[in-house]
Amino acid sequence: MPSHRRQRQRQVLTSASGLGKLVEPVRVLWEDGAAFPDDQSWKSKLNLVGIIGMGPLLFEPYFRPQIWGGRRLANVLGKLLPPNGRYGESWEVSAHPLHVSRLRGQSSSESTLASLWEKSKMSLWGESYPSPVEFPWLVKFLDCDDFLSVQVHPDSQLAAELVPTERGKDEVWVIVSADAGAKVYLGLRPDATPSRLRQAIQRGHPEDCLNVYSPQPGDIFHIPPGTVHSAGGGVLIAEIQTSSDATFRLYDWNRLDERGQPRPLHIEQAFRAIHWQREVRAPLRTEFQPRGPGWLSQLAASTANFHIECWQIAARTQIEPPHLGMTVAMVLSGSVILRVNSSPPLTLPKGETVLIPACVNSVLWSNPLDLPAWLVVCSPPVQPR
């Protein structure tokens, strides 16, 4: 059998009710039965659907250990985590210096997202929108088994002053799953003042000054720069953000790291970063609207940095949405088949993320299963016509 037809399997653990029991392996496959290449045969297909043809692009995920992480990236999403350890983040698409994504199965420097962006920016991004100098987004899954620190991200102006290697951080969370008792803290309560928040931190209860929500799958949280937030208690999140790692911690729940030391706090920087007068938007609950036969969508956020929607594709349905610019899509439930131009159909199970360049001529999504598929889709910010 030719090497490009060898199936690349990913073993997946069941959820907590069946922890440790293997279920059917999940495969990323071309619909013709060939695995998405993980060896040198990729070079031949690359000429057809990769850089030259600009077909769908899959990247190797980067698994980031975190003190607050768990094992849901493997147990729920089927990620191939190392056998031990707490992992809080799967970086799906990134050109951030902390980790630059690389095309799946490739090792050359030219296969990195940063290199692709440098050489083929207009093909990736499109000509209908002003193109950023650097790749603009960082796309992740988060497993908040324990709680994130109570934190805030700076806007671009303050980031340039305090962390000049970073930019402001605007982010959107879509809840994939949540345990009973999970919580999301988002924004200051109306009566929270700088002095009250400082006192609450000193008492070890900053949450007394924060809005608290019990997340449900499908909930959407927009977290603009300057918004105090945290999440934890067993919540799995799809996150799309601007390409920044600038974070100021206000409180870290009095826990110690693997060396027995508390993680650094950045209280004074955080107080400067907080937008004290901002009215925080409550989370959006699932309210899909019809977009076409078998296709429902909901706007998650539309800002100067991105336009993000949640899609639901009905069972046994295919849709052909307009394709006006670079698209990053994350599969949150179910499975979809993606057809781009003349490239072989690509099956994407739950937990997969794909980048579709702007230069393609046609994009067709289909759901081969008997249950709806759910995606979160990011595209360039909407510009006035």
Distance CA 380, CA 170 (A): 14
Distance CA 121, CA 129 (A): 12
Reported confidence tier of residue 281, pLDDT bands at 50, 70, 90: confident
Backbone angles phi, psi at 316, to 5 degrees: 55, 45
**Which of 72, 102, 249, 339 is flagged as catalytic?**
249
Statement to judge: residues 229 and 121 lie in one domain = yes
Number of domain units in the chain = 2
Separation in Å, CA 17 to CA 13, 76, 314, 376: 10, 11, 28, 27
Distance CA 195, CA 364 (A): 54
Statement to judge: residues 213 and 96 lie in one domain = yes
In-domain check, residue 170: yes
Looking up residue 108, the CATH number of its domain turns out to be 2.60.120.10
Which of 246, 273, 300 is at the close of a domain? 273
Q: Which domain holds residue 37?
A: 3-58+286-379
Separation in Å, CA 187 to CA 140, 253, 286, 350, 372: 22, 18, 21, 30, 33
In-domain check, residue 281: no
Statement to judge: residues 50 and 173 lie in one domain = no
Statement to judge: residues 116 and 163 lie in one domain = yes
Which of 273, 297, 331 is at the close of a domain? 273
Is 285 a residue of the active site? no
CB-based contacts of 215: which residues, under 8 Å, 6+ apart? 175, 178, 182, 183, 184, 221, 231, 235, 283
In-domain check, residue 278: no
Statement to judge: residues 54 and 72 lie in one domain = no
Interval 289-328: pLDDT, tens: 999 999 999 999 999 999 999 999 999 999 999 988 999 9
Of 93, 100, 199, whose CA–CA distance to 141 is shortest? 93
Distance CA 200, CA 75 (A): 36
Interval 342-373: pLDDT, tens: 778 999 999 999 999 999 989 999 999 999 99
Distance CA 260, CA 150 (A): 20
> Residue 317, class by beta-carbon neighbours within 10 Å (0-12 exposed, 13-18 middle, 19+ buried)?
middle
Backbone angles phi, psi at 315, to 5 degrees: -60, 140
In-domain check, residue 384: no
Statement to judge: residues 125 and 17 lie in one domain = no
- Please tell me the predicted confidence (pLDDT) of residue 128: 79
Q: Which two tokens stand for residue 334?
A: 């179910």
Statement to judge: residues 81 and 195 lie in one domain = yes
DSSP 103: B
Interval 105-159: pLDDT, tens: 888 888 999 999 999 999 999 987 888 999 999 999 999 999 999 999 999 999 9
Which of 238, 273, 308 is at the close of a domain? 273
Q: Which two tokens stand for residue 360?
A: 């393609």
End-to-end CA distance of the chain: 51
Statement to judge: residues 184 and 295 lie in one domain = no
Statement to judge: residues 206 and 336 lie in one domain = no
- Please tell me the predicted confidence (pLDDT) of residue 20: 26
Statement to judge: residues 33 and 175 lie in one domain = no
Statement to judge: residues 249 and 315 lie in one domain = no
Statement to judge: residues 264 and 300 lie in one domain = no
The pTM assigned to this predicted structure is 0.87
In-domain check, residue 151: yes
